[in-house]
Amino acid sequence: MTKAVRVLHVAETVRGGPATYISDLIALQAKEFGAENIFSVTPLQDLSLLNFPAGVGSIGYRPWRWRVMSSLALAIRVCREMRNIRPNVVHMHSTFAGLFLRGLLWVMYPNVVRVYCPHGWAFDRNASYLMKRIYISIELFLSNFDNAIICISSHERRIALQHGFLPSRLFLVKNGISNVDFSQLTDPVGWPKDCLRLLYVGRLDRQKGVDVLTRAMSLLGAGFHCILIGSAVVDTYIDDQPHSNITFGGWMTGDQLLAHFHFADVLVVPSRWEGFGLVAVEAMRAGTAVVASRVGGLVEIVEENVTGLLVEPDSPDALANTLRACTAREFREMGQAGLRRYQGEFTASRVHQEILGIYQKFL
């Protein structure tokens, strides 16, 4: 008989791809196990970005400005909630969610299954050799407290193996998202007429390369217009240059965000590094072409010259030239190919079943 599953999801921040990932996964788990058996602890200010079914236990905590202290506060809050929730699985999302919690759970609740998903390794980012070695050492040490580490791309699993992580702890579960109905959405009218409709969705942080995109937009000029959806999370975003072909939209959710995905011609993902790049899958689900950096998991998502185009990272000139390379009609054809690729490879139902298999392996 299969053991009942009772899951607590934990995240120190969900802004960007993790919000979609966690919302979709929890919705499917609530349907499978019952909403009364699914819980989450996330920052109070991020609760509006999550979309959970009725009955899911959603707990907010107040993060600190300094992320290390915020991670400690999160760990203490989770350990306090464990007595009431009594989960048999704790699923931690991203680096700071597990920084203190992984070890504390191992000591205080050794019989609880501990699942960690980095959503992009900290040591895969652009950093000095010393900082990368520090990140690797920390993650290697903390991996001793995990039952399972979920890698969201082949790239993420490959670099973990290269740095000495135990293969038996690494489980590849490529990201996926739930399908939605776009037929009732209306054009958000955020783009001027007679221009190529570009879209950026994500954090306005250095990792995401938004500064590369804004410089590329200056090179492109008239005929191209980009809507930027998001805000800074890790870094302070400063851009004091006027851009007549850029509109800043802030964070969006629900149908408003879906409409922008659906009515854009191209989603631009200019990341400097990326564990997976879930936003590219969101665009493909909407039938929108993707122009993305040739980094990390993005090369596993975008099929070059079929569902979109890949460009060398950190180069405004290369990005501008790539965006000029195709007509709106050609990009629309790529978008339809992307939709078919999403339907075949990147659904949330597959992710749910594969993660369920991991839970049950250790229960």
- Do 322 and 311 form a contact (C-beta atoms < 8 A)? yes
Model confidence pLDDT, tens digit, residues 22-64: 999 999 999 999 999 999 999 998 888 888 999 999 999 998 8
Q: How many CB atoms lie within 10 A of CB 22?
A: 25
Span 95-111, average pLDDT: 95
Domain ranges of the chain: 7-178+347-362, 196-345
pTM for this prediction:
0.83
CA quadruple 295, 301, 304, 306: dihedral, nearest 10 = -160
Query: Rounded mean pLDDT of the chain?
Result: 93
Nearest by Cα to 139 from 156, 160, 155? 160
Nearest by Cα to 179 from 351, 5, 330, 357? 351
CB-neighbour burial class of residue 313 (10 A; exposed 0-12, middle 13-18, buried 19+): buried
242 alpha carbon, distance to own chain's centre: 29
What pLDDT is recorded for position 18? 85
Model confidence pLDDT, tens digit, residues 297-311: 999 999 999 999 999
CATH 3.40.50.2000 for domain 7-178+347-362, yes or no, is: yes
Model confidence pLDDT, tens digit, residues 138-188: 999 999 999 999 999 999 999 999 999 999 999 999 999 999 999 999 998
Span 92-113, average pLDDT: 96
- Count the residues in the chain: 363
**Do the two domains 7-178+347-362 and 196-345 of this chain adopt the same fold?**
yes
Given a cut of 90, whether residue 327 has pLDDT beyond it is yes
What's the pLDDT band for 113 if we cut at 50, 70, 90?
very high
What pLDDT is recorded for position 19? 87
Model confidence pLDDT, tens digit, residues 196-253: 999 999 988 888 999 999 999 999 988 999 999 988 766 655 555 668 899 998 888 8
CB-neighbour burial class of residue 130 (10 A; exposed 0-12, middle 13-18, buried 19+): exposed
Question: What is the distance in angstroms between the CA of the first residue and the CA of the last residue of the chain?
Answer: 12
Top CATH class of 196-345 equals: alpha beta
What pLDDT is recorded for position 196? 97
What's the pLDDT band for 127 if we cut at 50, 70, 90?
confident
What pLDDT is recorded for position 1? 38
